[in-house]
Amino acid sequence: MPNYEILNFEAESLLISDVGVSKIHSQSLIRALRQLKLSKLMKKVELDEVLAENGLNHNDAFAFLERAIPLRS
């Protein structure tokens, strides 16, 4: 998984990665990002499971992740 950091503030969180900074308002997405950060390598099926476990729409969440933290296949 790409390297990134999550900074938590009262109203929102910031995701900082090699491609820039993104604001995150979704607590579900923040939880998923924390789970993803624990893995060095994750298969797509495992990523799909993390997104589903956190109640995220797969297509929307995956599209955001591809822009915010460059996912490698």
Q: What is the pLDDT of residues 24-66, one digit of tens each?
A: 999 999 999 999 888 878 888 999 999 999 999 999 999 999 8
Question: Strands 4-8, 20-24: parallel, antiparallel or unpaired by DSSP?
Answer: unpaired
What residues make up the domain containing 31? 4-68
Domain count, the chain: 1
- The answer to whether position 73 is within a domain reads no
Q: Contact, 27 vs 12, CB < 8 A? A: no
pLDDT confidence band for 72 (50 / 70 / 90) = low
Which pLDDT score, from 0 to 100, does residue 24 have?
93
**Does the pLDDT of residue 2 top 80, yes or no?**
no
**pTM given for the model:** 0.81
Evaluate whether residue 31 is within a structural domain: yes
- The answer, yes or no, to whether residue 1 has pLDDT greater than 70, is no
Alpha carbon distance 5, 37 (integer Å): 9
